[in-house]
Amino acid sequence: MDSQAEVTGRYIVSMAESAGEVSPVFERKIRELLEEHGIKDPEADGWYSAEHFVEAVNRASEDIGSKTILEAGTQMGRDVPQPEEVDGPKDALAIADEAQQAAYRNASEERPAGGYKYEETGENSVRMGVTSKFPYPEEIAKGSIKGIVESTTSGSAAAVVISEVNANPDEMCAYEIEW
Q: How confident is the model at residue 157 (pLDDT cuts 50, 70, 90)?
A: low
Residue 145 CA to residue 162 CA, distance in Å, equals 9
C-alpha pair distances (Å), 123 with each of 88, 90, 127? 12, 9, 12
> Mean pLDDT over residues 157-164, rounded?
82
C-alpha pair distances (Å), 146 with each of 33, 43, 73, 112, 128? 25, 24, 8, 22, 11
pLDDT of residue 93: 95
Contact 116, 171 (CB under 8 A): no
Residue with the larger pLDDT of the pair 165 and 80: 165
Q: How confident is the model at residue 156 (pLDDT cuts 50, 70, 90)?
A: low
pLDDT of residue 45: 96
pLDDT tens-digit readout, 40-56? 999 999 999 999 999 99
| pTM exceeds cut of 0.85 | yes
> Mean pLDDT over residues 1-29, rounded?
89
The yes-or-no verdict on residue 160 having pLDDT over 60 is yes
In 19-76, where do the E strands start and end? Answer: 47-49
Q: Which domains does the chain have, with CATH numbers?
A: 1-179 (3.90.1520.10)
Backbone dihedral angles phi then psi of residue 175, each to the nearest 5 degrees: -135, 145
The mean predicted confidence, pLDDT, of the chain is 92
pLDDT tens-digit readout, 86-130? 999 999 999 999 999 999 999 998 899 999 999 999 999 999 999
pLDDT of residue 109: 87
The yes-or-no verdict on residue 134 having pLDDT over 90 is yes
